Homo-oligomer: A and B are copies of this chain.
Amino acid sequence: MTWMCKQSLIAAEFTGVMILIIFGTGVVSQVVLSSNPAVAPTPKGEYLSISFGWAAGTALGVWVCLGISGGHINPAITIAFATWRGFPWKKVPGYIFGQLMGGVVGAALVYADYFHAIDIYEGGRGVRTLKTASLFSTYALDYMTNVSCFFSEFFATAILVIVILATTDKGNGPPPLGLLPLVLFILILGLGACLGMETGYAVNPARDLGPRLLTSMVGYGSAVYTFRNQYWLWCPVLAPILGAQAGAMFYDVLLFNGRESIVNKP
Interface core residue of A183, A185, A197 (most chain B CB under 10 Å): A197
Given contact pairs A30-B196, A143-B39, A174-B178, A112 touches B151 in the complex (Cβ within 8 A): yes
Interface of A: prevailing SS: helix
In the complex, identify which listed stretch (A40-48, A89-97, A223-231) lies at the interface while the others stay far away: A40-48
How many copies of the chain does the oligomer comprise? 4
CA distance A182 to B180 in the complex (A): 12
In the complex, identify which listed stretch (A58-66, A76-84, A208-216, A235-243) lies at the interface while the others stay far away: A58-66
Q: Are B186 and A178 neighbours in the complex by a CB distance under 8 Å?
A: no
Q: Are A60 and B163 neighbours in the complex by a CB distance under 8 Å?
A: yes
CA distance A69 to B250 in the complex (A): 17
Q: Are A255 and B68 neighbours in the complex by a CB distance under 8 Å?
A: yes
Q: How large is the interface on A (under 10, 10 to 19, 20 to 34, 35 or more residues)?
A: 35 or more
Contacts of A65 in B (CB 8 A): 166, 172, 255
Give A12-48 interface residues, CB cut-off 8 Å to B.
12, 14-15, 19, 22-24, 26-27, 30, 33-34, 38-40, 42-48
Q: Are A57 and B190 neighbours in the complex by a CB distance under 8 Å?
A: yes
CA distance A182 to B14 in the complex (A): 24
Q: Are A56 and B194 neighbours in the complex by a CB distance under 8 Å?
A: yes
Contacts of A148 in B (CB 8 A): 113, 116
- Other than A19-B162, A39-B197, give 8 A-B pairs with Cβ distance below 8 A: A12-B254, A15-B162, A27-B190, A34-B197, A42-B47, A56-B187, A68-B173, A117-B198
Q: Which are the 7 A-B pairs with shortest beta-carbon distances?
A: A66-B173, A56-B190, A26-B194, A67-B173, A67-B172, A44-B197, A27-B194
